[in-house]
Amino acid sequence: MDLQTAEVKMNELRSQLTEYGYQYHVLDKPSVPDSEYDRLMLELVELEGKYPELKTSDSPTERVGGSVLDLFEKVEHSAPMLSLGNAFNEQDLRDFDRRIRQVVGDDFSYVCELKIDGLAVSLRYVDGLFVQGATRGDGTIGEDITANLKTIKSIPLRLRETVSLEVRGEAYMPKRSFEALNKAKAEREEEPFANPRNAAAGSLRQLDPKIASSRNLDVFLYGIGDVGKIKVDSHSEGLDYLDQLGFKTNKERRKCVTIEEVIQYVNSWVEKRPNLPYEIDGIVIKVDLLHQQEELGRTAKSPRWAIAYKFPAEEVITTLLDIELSIGRTGVLTPTAILEPVKVAGTTVQRASLHNEDLIREKDIKIGDKVVVKKAGDIIPEVVNVIADQRTGAEVDFHMPTHCPECESELVRLEGEVALRCINPKCPAQIREGLIHFVSRDAMNIDGLGEKVVSQLFAEKLIVDVADIYKLSSEQLLGLERMGEKSVTNLLTAIESSKANSLEKLLFGLGIRHVGAKAAKTLAQAFGSILKLATANKEELLAINEIGEKMADSIVTFFDQEEVQALIEELKTAGVNMEYKGVMPSTALESDSLFAGKTIVLTGKLEQLTRNEAKEGIEALGGNVSGSVSKKTDLVIAGIEAGSKLTKAEQLGIEVWDEERLLSELNK
């Protein structure tokens, strides 16, 4: 076969295989037997092997997974991938409908879609060719997972038109794939995935695309990133256009004219949800016409023209077999219910937090009880109540111990607290949990150093405090179980990279009592370096907005300890950054912002923004949001049913805005 004949034949095979793949994976209507598809694929593979110069990026053979990556590159989305506000009941939906009508009037319609429980992704096409795929990330910057997304057979590598666009969708793992994956994991005595969402996310964040390929993922596309470039007038037209281009969209969507129709659609899927071959966790409701979406606008994080209705938590009955105790990094003793395995909201649940002894007494929980279990927000398992009338008399009362189960030290209940606490600073459980906290995402964010690896290193006495992490060698790590050369290299690279983190990451990672991620950033901005913070007195700390008595005392006590001073010196010697690298508030805002340098209090219920969104918007423009009104307060934002804070502001003569005035300033 000469080159020209080979090219014609290869183009013909690619066209056939692409069409057969579309019919099978998108339309779910296979037109040829699997054996015929496999025969054609083998023929194409052989021809591409003989004539590699004729291979194209959109070839069906590209889906098998390429070479292993070293890391994921960062990708900036052409338009932000916003999160959605939530509705939890019928009244929330009616309130959403009322807000829409206040802006656009009564002449509009909704599109209702199933909320697929997976991983949000963005796909970019240039002249009809798939060139890049990314995770949602923080909404602005995601990770390039193109190689993994290419393994999803319902994602077209070439569109049916030579258009350039960015589309959004949800990659997910079908229930059948999830069950097969966990069955294989069980056979290998590996930890199973908790749910299909975690499995999908874990699969798409594999550095080896062949692993993603083996997981049999799928995708539904639900929108166009920048609709302005496409000639459609509504969201529903946009979905139809995606169908036309060869994408897979969810056909269960429905156009609704009234909120009554929306509620009827929602209720119908509460019943039908278990029968789907994939997991859903709610319904997404969007205003259909694009010009009305534009008129409604968005907040810093969410569009005002869309909302996600979250299904009520599913409740099931099971048996509470035992109560297990664990010590956290702050010494708090937490009881956990060990349950007879039961399926809740699509996953098998065997454990549920019981929080503290008071909750156990309040709910009258005994070992052996029949209990009602649900997942709060479809995520965290909790015991709702006991079914007392099913007791047999064999149930056993539970009593909290008097001494720490890890180090035998006497447990104490501090004044004003409900939790029992181990106050031994050398308690192994606290040290181990502190190490796990130090490497976590919101702290030093060391990839590859998860809970299991940290526990293993601690058990082997390779790390005793956080400074030891920066002394680890490849020889030490290679001696551990399941640690190959590639894993060790990646881990040591991640440890080295973490040294460059800005100061707030280190402060949060050190686990200073009462200092969360937000306070750590405030302190880092205020003092600039750990040396200045470590030598600050209580008065200097209290002078900073949002730093109260408890936190100030805790910070002074922490840095007064000789062990802490020695630890900081060790980290400094290891090359860990000790200074704030972020943008200072005063340099991050526009000079004409009315919030710059002012102390602002939010009170009452906001209708269009969440309290968090309002706070983030104000802080982004240089304002400080405080929790109480005083003579130092410059401005009060009053929502519906504002109470004593508004009264106090009026008594002190402080300026008061409503939510509309706040939105007007934020939108500038």
- DSSP secondary structure of 619-651: HHTT-EEESS--TT--EEEE-BT--HHHHHHHH
CB of 601 within 8 A of CB of 628? yes
If asked whether residues 569 and 607 sit together in one domain, one would say no
> Is 215 part of any domain?
yes
Confidence (pLDDT) at 230: 77
* Among 335-339, 345-349, 519-523, 596-600, the range of highest mean pLDDT: 335-339
Provide the pLDDT for residue 61. Answer: 81
163 and 279 within one domain: yes
Task: Give the range of the structural domain holding residue 613, as residue numbers without chain letter.
Answer: 586-666
Q: Are residues 117 and 247 in the same domain?
A: yes
Q: Is residue 539 situated within a structural domain? A: yes
Six-digit token pair at 40?
């054609």
Q: Are residues 305 and 319 in the same domain?
A: no
Check residue 367 and give its pLDDT. 96
Chain segment 409-431, per-residue pLDDT in tens? 999 987 777 888 898 878 999 99
Provide the pLDDT for residue 645: 83
Phi then psi for residue 598, to 5 deg, are -100, 155
Position 589 pLDDT exceeds 60:
no
The neighbouring-strand residues paired with 224 are 167
Domain end marker among 258, 290, 310: 310
Domain of 290: which CATH number?
3.30.470.30
pLDDT the model gives residue 66:
53
Report if residue 423 sits inside a domain.
Answer: no
Which of these three, 542, 573, 604, is where a domain ends?
573
Q: What is the CATH number of the domain that holds 36?
A: 1.10.287.610
Q: What is the pLDDT of residues 439-449, one digit of tens each?
A: 998 899 998 89
Does residue 538 sit in the same domain as residue 556?
Answer: yes
In this prediction, residue 587 carries a pLDDT of 46
pLDDT band at 231 (very low <50, low <70, confident <90, very high): confident
Domain with 491 in it: what CATH number?
1.10.150.20
Average pLDDT for the chain: 88
> Percent of the chain at pLDDT above 70?
96
* Judgement on whether residues 537 and 658 belong to the same structural domain of the protein: no
Amino acid 456: pLDDT: 92
What are the phi and psi torsion angles at 176 (to 5°)? -65, -40
Question: Annotated catalytic residue: which of 29, 55, 74, 115?
Answer: 115
Q: Are residues 205 and 272 in the same domain?
A: yes
- Is the same domain home to 129 and 237? yes
pLDDT value for 360: 93
**Residue at 417 is within a domain:** no
User: Taking 60 as the threshold, does the pLDDT of residue 480 lie above it?
Assistant: yes
Q: What is the mean pLDDT of residues 112-118?
A: 94
Q: How many domains does the chain have?
A: 6
Residue 76 lies in a domain: no
Whole-model pTM: value is 0.55
Q: Which of 22-36, 42-56, 360-374, 630-644 has the least mean pLDDT?
A: 22-36
Per-residue pLDDT band at 590 (split at 50, 70, 90): very low
Q: Give 335-384 pLDDT, tens digit per residue.
A: 999 999 998 876 788 999 888 888 899 999 999 999 999 876 556 788 98
Q: How many CA atoms lie within 13 A of 610 on its CB side?
A: 12
Is residue 209 one of the residues assigned to a domain?
yes
Evaluate whether 98 touches 278 at the Cβ level (below 8 Å).
Answer: no
Please, are residues 192 and 182 in contact by the beta-carbon 8 Å criterion? yes
Confidence band, pLDDT 50/70/90 cuts, at residue 306: very high
Do 114 and 197 lie in a common domain?
Answer: yes
For residue range 261-295, list pLDDT tens digits in order: 999 999 999 888 888 999 998 999 999 999 999 99
* pLDDT value for 588: 43
Show which of 443, 468, 498 is a domain's final residue: 498
485-494, Cβ contacts within 8 angstroms, sequence gap of 24 or more: 487/448, 490/70, 490/447, 490/448, 491/446, 491/447, 491/448, 491/449, 491/453, 494/446, 494/447, 494/448, 494/449
The answer to whether residue 641 scores a pLDDT higher than 80 is no
Q: Give Cα 384 to chain centroid, integer Å.
A: 25
Q: What is the dihedral of CA 243, 247, 253, 254, to 10 degrees?
A: -20
| pLDDT on residue 82 | 83
Q: Does residue 192 share a domain with residue 151? A: yes
Closest alpha carbon to 40 in 5, 14, 62: 14
Q: Does residue 195 sit within a domain?
A: yes
Q: Hey, how many other C-beta atoms are within 10 angstroms of the C-beta on 411? A: 20
Assigned domain for 72 exists = no
Mean pLDDT on 66-81: 73
Instruction: Check whether residue 340 and residue 451 sit in a common domain.
Output: no
Residue 241 pLDDT > 60: yes
Can you give the pLDDT at residue 371? Answer: 94
Whether residue 272 sits in one domain with residue 162: yes
375 is known as an active-site residue: no
Task: State mean pLDDT over 463-478.
Answer: 93
